[in-house]
Amino acid sequence: MRLILLRHGETLWNKEHRLQGHQNSPLSERGILQAQAIKPIIDKLAPQYVISSDLGRALQTAKIIGYPNAITDINLRELAMGEWEGRKKEEIISENPELYQAWRDGEYTPKGAETWRDFCQRISTALFNWAKRNDGDTLAIVHSGVVRAACESLVSLSTKHLLPVTQGTLTIFEITPSNPIKLEAYNLGGFIPELNVAD
């Protein structure tokens, strides 16, 4: 079977470079276009099962690609970022660039946040549970952190060695009972340029 992870489209907070975590922001115009652009590829992949994070940006993406009734799973939420949620990346980096990089590398946890190790455990458990439950290809509409955690926990690909996960792209794993899990695709999808709106 294939486990197909789709990162939601760009949100208004993504445009502002704000960390979202468990907070939410609706898709931007570009994010809607990203979801529309990936739909034909998903249609060709024809997943038998569709699940989604319960956060609004994932559910909005699910609706655009044709799955308004996707089964939601709270365990597929983004990494909880504690006191950093809602803050701009540039602000955090200007205060302490080493601390921000340590967080990106999974080696630092902001106050009130989830540790990277706990997050990876949550994501791998949730994904394995869905893989065991379904015998066909499964599409999960999720978040950047979920994709990175899946790469690390399923195929031992460290987040330090991954390019950022582009909004509205697919990451695909092949899961078979007798073979190791394989990464089939990463950041698969069309490119939607940033939209420049005149003032």
Active site residues: 8, 78
Beta-strand ranges (E) seen in the chain are 2-7, 49-53, 71-73, 138-142, 170-176, 179-188
DSSP 76-124: GSPPPBGGGTT-BHHHHHHH-HHHHHHHHTT----TTBPPHHHHHHHHH
Residues 6+ apart with CB under 8 A from 127: 3, 140, 150, 154
Contact 144, 119 (CB under 8 A): no
Which position has the token pair 């739909």?
39
Number of residues in the chain = 199
Percent of residues in the chain assigned helix, strand, coil, to nearest 5: 40, 20, 35
Alpha carbons 155 and 122: distance in angstroms, whole number: 16
